[in-house]
Structure 1
Amino acid sequence: MSLLRFSDHSLRSQIALVFGTLVVGLAVLLSLGFGELLKLRIERDAGTALQVIAENAGKLLANGLQERSREAEVLAAAEAVWTKGLDSAEAHHMLARSQATHPHSAWIGVADAQGVVRAATGGLLVGQSVAERPWFKEGLQKLHVGDVHPAKLLEQLLAPPPSGEPYRFVDFAAPIRLGPTTIGVVAIHGSWEWTHEVMESLTPVRTDDKAVELFVFDRKGDLIYAPGGQTRALLEAGQRLPVEANNPVASDRAAGRAVVVRWLDGRSYLTATAPMQARNSTSDLGWRIVAREPVELAFAEAHRTVQLALAIGLGAALLASVLAWLAARRLSDDLYALADAASAVEADKPGTRIPQAHSSREVSKLSGALGRMTHRLLTAHEAMEEKVRLRTLELEAANRALDLQARTDALTGLLNRRGFETQMAFALALARRSGRPLSLITVDVDHFKRVNDTYGHETGDEVLRRLARTLEMRLRNSDVIARLGGEEFVVLLPDTDLLGAQAIAQALVEAMAEQHDPVVGRITVSAGVASMRGLQDNGLDILRRGDAALYEAKGQGRNRVCVEA
């Protein structure tokens, strides 16, 4: 049996299907969107927390290095002790007290200027030469803080560290000076176990959902500390700083944000890197502290949030779909009743009427609206026709206004070139048919550019309007006046021969010369006169001859009239 098309379903089923599908889709999208937003927020918060742990570890390590380097300086500056000798009882007592104050000082000793150990805690290395040790060479010159290194001379003399790993030291050395003379070097071998305690104090207790680990890498990117006694194993495996400078995520690291990085063990970790901010230049060893947490644990809460949001959304969608189906069922029952009644009316069954439905206010009004619908549609149609007629009249009036505007010069109110050409064609046709004369005068303001340059364009516009008013006052109503452009005007004179046009032109020139403009002063114009010579003569030829006569008047000195040759 073939599947039913959507249109074959009842209205109740269609509404339920459409509304239910929309609600389910919208609920899923909103749930996923909201869940993803929460996920991003939780992931960002997890990265921020990890970054804070790394930065705090860096601060504690930097403070520790500064304190120990300061301790070496203080010991070296005890002149009252050193004046009694590097191996005096006071010297031994001071070294022992310093070690008791800082238990992580695995060895504190004093070597003379030749590199022979003269006094040391526990008497270790006394009498032996340390002249080739880097801390001694640097300590003779200035305060020195050495990077992490394995124990050499003391490895067999000290008790094994609690972690079970080989001894590693951070050296602090300072020169002992009496006046200008350096008499020896005081040195502190700080046990690397101190770092383990700092890291453990900042690392949250490891649980099933928390597994934050802290690592320390040196300036070259080599591992110098790993939690849980993993340092040696990871070093042998070749573990280095996982986020190198040429890594694409370096920009994120520089911005102080945790990123997801794949480590040497093949697992992905949320990783935060923070440089150790040294408190002084001597203790700036370039260490970088790295905090990491497995991605599946760091983002576990985010994933649970997304799943919960999706489950809530699907539940809400299911509930909304059921409500939609019930509402559609109630509506469709009344519509079926209305459809059956309409069919009965169509069949002309006696006593049939449209029932009053009560499933909703809208359906209730439907039965009463059916009878009034036709009347309203006819009324609306008539109103629309009247509105179309009024709009047509308005459009025609607007078109006439636009046509007038297109034929009129905006500055003077006279005809423009387009309007003049229409009048010229009409006058020529009339002159040819009646055999009457037709002349024109071209008028141009003398030195108009000088007026614009000297007094400005506003004054120039006022000069043009003055000329236009003079032409209108001096000419007949039957004459056609137009501004062709710029300062050039033309006058079309029906029923006027060449001599008559010349006289009119002369009167116009004299009328303009007699006027006095309050800004410019005396304004003159030049004029050229031309007349229709025969039935074959056209408007362009007449206008061209008038222009030639105008240029002749300009050439003869302006403020005059010239007639076509």
Structure 2
Amino acid sequence: MMLITRFSDHSLRMQIALVFGALVVGLSVLLSLGFGELLKHRIQRDAGNSLQVVAENAGKLLALGLMQRSLEAEVMASAEVVWSKGLDSAEAQHMLARSQAMQPTNVWIGVADAQGVVRNATNGLLVGQSVAQRPWFQHGLQGVHVGDVHAAQLLESLLPPTATGEPHRFVDFAAPIRIGPTTVGVFAIHGSWQWTREVLESLTPASSDESALELFIFDRQGTLIFAPGGRTEVMRAAGQRLPEGIQINNNRDGGGSTQTTVARWQDGKRYLTAATQLQPRNAASDLGWRIVARQPVELAFAEADDTVQLALAIGLVAALFASALAWLAARRLSVDLYALADAASGVEAGRPGSDIPAMQSSREVQQLSQSLGRMTHHLLAAREAMEEKVRLRTLELEAANRALDLQARTDALTGLLNRRGFETQMAFAVALARRSSRPLSLITVDVDHFKRVNDTYGHEAGDEVLRRLARTLESRLRGSDVVARLGGEEFVALLPDTDLNGAQSIAQALVTAMAEQQDPVVGTITVSAGVATMRGAEDNGAAMLRRGDAALYEAKGQGRNRVCVEA
């Protein structure tokens, strides 16, 4: 009763100002919090999407790397023309050394005979020792094998320490060496686990130090096998495993739903976490790895929290301004006030077409209605601006991904396609040739005595030789032909609508053109070439490339500076 009396003691102007002011403050706070929470949800979702994209891109690159290395082991093991001269022949040793030079993270490349004794290896490591009990040898006798990451055993004491100080760990790639129907040995590659660190670091955004974004890898059993910053052993010793409650995005259905969640890790902190299943490119590389990206919650949602606070501050400022106007509107009858309150309720409820009307009954009410209208439009504009900002950031990320994809498909030295880009073009050309029943051939080209060029004249001269060969290929071939550098001094040209005889003629012209040129430093440069053609609808690009390589090795064996066709 005392409160009613005290309130009634105020003038009508004061009573209306107090009531209307309280209403405007409450409405502004509700609108600000509502729009703020909506924007926060949108930002949090986009942060999760970005984290998921990073994890999925890492998974794609790792899967591609595993497939390429398993194919490398398979292709090298299938070089029957080399192995027929003996597992410990000079040609075999040269091939191993060249393969390691092309991929320095292949720490050890070797060959064991059918009894498990190492007969040839890079730098002579483990030659003469038995590896018959090693899993890669036992599986490699049966077919192409990719082994899960493991600690080095025989090689640990023979190799220099790693850059991070952690023990050496390898991923094994093995394939059987067959001469005719007989398995005479196993070709093996021990790939350094440092390769994984390089892949993940290449995908980590430049601002990752500020955002604390990190990438991890867990194996099929949930055991940690990679942590950034050389912390793998420390985190494993602390008991870190795949956090519970993480939804693994297997990416098999092609859906784009976000699989991020907030999870508590072994250190007791909460992180925004995204995980994806490594999708193997072939059966041998199906290791079941899970790639996990994480970011501290306080950093991942920092922008969202700031947005809510900003929206609330804007709403409160607008509410105070509207309350001041309400004091001036107290002379008007409550009809206009009820109309404004009803309109504000419609805006708060989100009814279609709801807006604050422009009152004309008095100057004060008109000012109030305009102020509330501006406040509403400002909040809506803030929401639209935030959505536009999110859209622009999404476009920037897509552009960065396209640039990364282009860089991954192009050879930096020659400007030609690299192996990855060539495989995509080859798959398209093979499919077109099958569908149209047209001929398709390829030429593999290799610089003769390229190691001698590097050793004698230096790597800059060797690089100029490779660029000269690339220019010759581009100028001598048609615009529809596909030219690529597979690695080192080996190039390949894919010739649509060209049969074996036509490809042989083109290859001979290329060999002759190179021999006729004079490099100002090196002098005469010769190349050897191998020619292969598609053998019907059941043939594929990988088989063609293997036959082309075999023909190339035959040309090398016959004295170089010549062309050989597939058998």
Q: Do both proteins adopt the same fold according to a TM-score greater than 0.5, normalized to the shorter chain?
A: yes
Deviations 1:214-260 (Å, cap 9, x if unpaired)?
000000000000001110000001100013xxx3x648999542110
How far apart are 1:164 and its partner, in Å? Answer: 1.6
Residues 359, 150 of structure 1: alpha-carbon distance in 2 compared, 3 angstrom cutoff: closer
Counterpart check, 1:108 vs 2:109: yes
Paired amino acid for 1:50: L
Paired amino acid for 2:261: V
Residues 359, 82 of structure 1: alpha-carbon distance in 2 compared, 3 angstrom cutoff: closer
Please give the alpha-carbon distance, in whole angstroms, between the structure 2 residues aligned to 1:154 and 1:88: 23
Confirm or deny: 8 A CA contact 1:331 1:360 kept in the other structure: no
Paired amino acid for 2:98: R
Aligned to 2:211: 210
Confirm or deny: 8 A CA contact 1:253 1:272 kept in the other structure: no
How far apart are 1:266 and its partner, in Å? Answer: 0.6
Counterpart check, 1:60 vs 2:41: no
Please give the alpha-carbon distance, in whole angstroms, between the structure 2 residues aligned to 1:361 and 1:302: 39
Counterpart secondary structure, 2:191: strand
Residues 25, 276 of structure 1: alpha-carbon distance in 2 compared, 3 angstrom cutoff: same
Please give the alpha-carbon distance, in whole angstroms, between the structure 2 residues aligned to 1:216 and 1:304: 32
Aligned to 1:292: 294
Counterpart secondary structure, 1:176: strand
Please give the alpha-carbon distance, in whole angstroms, between the structure 2 residues aligned to 1:218 and 1:331: 73
Aligned to 1:157: 158
Aligned to 2:191: 190
Please give the alpha-carbon distance, in whole angstroms, between the structure 1 residues aligned to 2:93 and 2:26: 81
Counterpart secondary structure, 2:285: coil
Answer with 66-75 or 158-167: which moved more. 158-167
Aligned to 1:279: 281
Please give the alpha-carbon distance, in whole angstroms, between the structure 2 residues aligned to 1:24 and 1:99: 72
Deviations 1:118-141 (Å, cap 9, x if unpaired)?
000000000000000000000001
How far apart are 1:210 and its partner, in Å? Answer: 0.9
Counterpart secondary structure, 2:326: helix
Paired amino acid for 2:279: Q
Residues 287, 360 of structure 1: alpha-carbon distance in 2 compared, 3 angstrom cutoff: closer
Deviations 1:148-184 (Å, cap 9, x if unpaired)?
0000000010111112211000000000001110000
TM-score (norm 1): 0.57
Residues 323, 174 of structure 1: alpha-carbon distance in 2 compared, 3 angstrom cutoff: same
Counterpart check, 1:228 vs 2:262: no
Counterpart check, 1:88 vs 2:111: no
Counterpart secondary structure, 2:273: strand
Please give the alpha-carbon distance, in whole angstroms, between the structure 1 residues aligned to 2:42 and 2:72: 45
Confirm or deny: 8 A CA contact 1:12 1:328 kept in the other structure: yes
Residues 14, 63 of structure 1: alpha-carbon distance in 2 compared, 3 angstrom cutoff: same
How far apart are 1:207 and its partner, in Å? Answer: 5.6
Deviations 1:316-338 (Å, cap 9, x if unpaired)?
00000001102215879xxxxxx
How far apart are 1:6 and its partner, in Å? Answer: 2.8
> What is the Cα-based RMSD across aligned positions, in Å?
2.3
Paired amino acid for 1:19: F
How far apart are 1:359 and its partner, in Å? Answer: 9.2
How far apart are 1:205 and its partner, in Å? Answer: 2.9
Counterpart secondary structure, 2:171: strand
How far apart are 1:7 and its partner, in Å? Answer: 3.0
Residues 6, 182 of structure 1: alpha-carbon distance in 2 compared, 3 angstrom cutoff: same
Aligned to 1:318: 320
**Residue ranges of structure 2 left out of the alignment (5+ in a row):** 252-256, 335-359, 366-567
Please give the alpha-carbon distance, in whole angstroms, between the structure 2 residues aligned to 1:274 and 1:251: 5
Residues 188, 321 of structure 1: alpha-carbon distance in 2 compared, 3 angstrom cutoff: same
Please give the alpha-carbon distance, in whole angstroms, between the structure 2 residues aligned to 1:32 and 1:64: 48
Paired amino acid for 1:35: G
Counterpart secondary structure, 2:25: helix
Confirm or deny: 8 A CA contact 2:247 2:261 kept in the other structure: no
Residues 318, 186 of structure 1: alpha-carbon distance in 2 compared, 3 angstrom cutoff: same
Paired amino acid for 1:128: Q
Counterpart secondary structure, 1:282: helix
- Which residues of 2 match residues 299-378 of structure 1 at below 5 A? 299-328=301-330, 360=362
**Residue ranges of structure 1 left out of the alignment (5+ in a row):** 333-357, 364-565
Residues 54, 135 of structure 1: alpha-carbon distance in 2 compared, 3 angstrom cutoff: same
Paired amino acid for 1:147: D
Please give the alpha-carbon distance, in whole angstroms, between the structure 2 residues aligned to 1:154 and 1:268: 39
Paired amino acid for 2:267: D
Confirm or deny: 8 A CA contact 1:72 1:186 kept in the other structure: yes
Residues 40, 362 of structure 1: alpha-carbon distance in 2 compared, 3 angstrom cutoff: closer
Please give the alpha-carbon distance, in whole angstroms, between the structure 2 residues aligned to 1:121 and 1:47: 45
Aligned to 1:177: 178
Aligned to 1:238: 239
Structure of larger gyration radius: 1
Paired amino acid for 1:193: Q
Confirm or deny: 8 A CA contact 1:12 1:331 kept in the other structure: no
Please give the alpha-carbon distance, in whole angstroms, between the structure 2 residues aligned to 1:18 and 1:163: 68
Residues 319, 361 of structure 1: alpha-carbon distance in 2 compared, 3 angstrom cutoff: closer
Please give the alpha-carbon distance, in whole angstroms, between the structure 2 residues aligned to 1:168 and 1:196: 12
